[in-house]
């Protein structure tokens, strides 16, 4: 249950609809190969499950499946291998790309170095230690992405950063949303009429979810009490939030209609994270007709217009208070947010991605590296 997982599921569904030759390799409860139309699915059961986060694991011995996966890919004959990060499946994908001499695309979805720094800060409380871990983690990440023939990122600043730091062709891949699955049509108001302030995602340090305790205190200091917090998700910060926000609704992770209804029931969606490259939950909230409030850094990455689809500011309270006392403003921003989300469909995202693949594979630098590897 994360943004990368959503992208991969939507990509597979797009390939099925378009009947494109597509093979995805992912974790499963059992090791098996399945064929459904034009899509080949290779599922690998992790033997060792080292926990990285809530429902996220790594198997350091996953490469034992190398020959089995290569046998299937030789039948599939890929023009390109695309990995989504430096985890166990990303390492396996790189190794197979190298052995088969198939161009490798690596997409950057998560600022893992910033995640590492914030988690170290939470554990030891030393800023110098967190800064050191963040720098060294970034060096390791850049070294890994330098192994790819070209890289893909979800926003312009990250694309420019990667092009400069790893000296590889860099392209942008926007993210999308299913505006049918997430819609204001699912909105159901509670009888108490409380203003609902929401969040969906992992409750972890890098998401900066402790900001909700500050928001609660700020609103109460302003004399407001007719509001409620709806924090959907789970993670290591859950107990900290529970102790300080006893009145908050915290249902854990939700899926399907329950998730769509949770989004649509919100009056404002707060995104306090300063580390996300692109939060899909922001688009999902917007598709649900909910004004979004983002930090200045996030607003620049996502292209949200301050005062139109929501507020872009490091002071969330001012925006929340404005929405609480002006229902017309909340409705106008919610409508603008939904209109923006409807322009961000997944089909357009993946059509653009295939065009990016074609451009990258024709790039002289990518072709030269592939030919040199073949000669070697």
The DSSP code for 24 is: E
pLDDT of residue 189: 66
Contact 352, 174 (CB under 8 A): yes
Residue 119 falls within a domain, yes or no? Answer: no
Beta pairing, strands 227-232 & 249-252: parallel
The answer to whether residue 113 scores a pLDDT higher than 70 is no
pLDDT at 124 over 90: no
- Domain assignment present for residue 252? The answer is yes
pLDDT for 178: 92
Q: pLDDT exceeding 90 applies to what percent of the chain?
A: 65
pLDDT bracket for residue 90 (50, 70, 90) = very high
How many other β-carbons are positioned within 10 Å of the β-carbon of residue 376?
A: 6
Q: Judge if 259 and 288 occupy the same domain.
A: yes
- What's the average model confidence in pLDDT over 241-258? 93
For residue 167 the two structure tokens come to: 């000296």
- Same-domain check for residues 257 and 299: yes
Same domain, 166 and 239: no
Residue 131, in any domain of the structure? no
Within a domain: 124: no
- Between strands 195-200 and 170-172, the pairing is unpaired
Q: Averaged over 65-90, what is the pLDDT?
A: 94
Look at residue 130 and tell me if it is in a domain: no
Same domain (yes/no): 196, 280: yes
Same domain for 357 and 335, yes or no, is no
- What is the reported pLDDT for 347? 93
pLDDT at 194: 92
- Residues 280-329: tens digit of each pLDDT: 899 999 999 999 999 887 777 777 888 899 999 888 999 999 999 999 99
CB atoms closer than 10 angstroms to residue 245: 17
Residue 123 in any domain: the answer is no
DSSP string, 35-99: EETTEEEEEE--SS-EEEETTEEE-TTGGGGHHHHHHHHHHH--S-EEE-SSSHHHHHHHHHHHH
Q: Would you mind telling me the total number of residues written for the chain in this entry?
A: 376
Could you tell me the pTM of the whole model?
0.85
**CATH code at 279?**
3.40.50.2000
Range of the domain at 236: 184-342
For residue 307, tell me if it sits in a domain: yes
């Amino acid at each position: 249950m994360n943004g990368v997982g959503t992208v991969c599921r939507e990509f597979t569904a797009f390939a099925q609809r378009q009947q494109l030759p597509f093979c995805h390799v992912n974790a499963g409860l059992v090791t098996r190969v399945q064929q459904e139309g034009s899509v080949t699915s290779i599922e690998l059961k992790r033997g060792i499950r080292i926990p990285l986060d809530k429902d996220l694991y790594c198997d350091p011995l996953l490469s034992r499946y190398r020959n089995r996966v290569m046998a299937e890919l030789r039948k599939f004959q890929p023009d390109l291998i695309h990995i989504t990060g430096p985890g166990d499946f990303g390492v396996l994908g790189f190794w197979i790309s190298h052995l088969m001499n198939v161009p490798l695309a690596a997409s950057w979805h998560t600022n893992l170095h910033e995640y590492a720094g914030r988690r170290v800060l939470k554990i030891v409380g030393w800023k110098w230690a967190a800064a050191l871990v963040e720098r060294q983690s970034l060096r390791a990440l850049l070294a890994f992405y330098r192994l790819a023939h070209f890289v893909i990122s979800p926003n312009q600043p990250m694309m420019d950063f990667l092009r400069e730091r790893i000296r590889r062709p860099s392209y942008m891949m926007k993210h999308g949303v299913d505006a049918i699955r997430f819609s204001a049509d699912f909105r159901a108001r509670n009888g108490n009429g409380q203003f609902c302030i929401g969040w969906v995602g992992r409750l972890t340090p890098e998401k900066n979810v402790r900001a909700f305790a500050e928001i609660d205190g700020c609103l109460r200091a302003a004399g407001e009490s007719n509001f409620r917090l709806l924090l959907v998700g789970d993670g290591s910060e859950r107990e900290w939030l529970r102790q300080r926000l006893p009145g908050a609704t915290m249902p854990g992770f939700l899926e399907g209609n329950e998730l769509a209804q949770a989004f649509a029931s919100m009056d404002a969606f707060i995104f306090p994270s300063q580390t996300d490259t692109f939060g899909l939950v922001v688009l999902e909230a917007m598709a649900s007709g909910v004004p979004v409030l983002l930090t200045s850094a996030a607003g620049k990455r996502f292209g949200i217009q301050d005062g139109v689809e929501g507020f872009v500011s490091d002071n969330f309270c001012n925006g929340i208070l404005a929405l609480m006392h002006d229902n017309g403003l909340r409705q106008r921003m919610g409508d603008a947010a939904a209109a923006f989300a409807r322009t961000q469909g997944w089909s357009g995202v993946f059509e653009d991605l295939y065009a990016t693949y074609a451009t990258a594979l024709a790039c002289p630098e990518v072709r030269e590296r592939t030919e040199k590897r073949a000669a070697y």
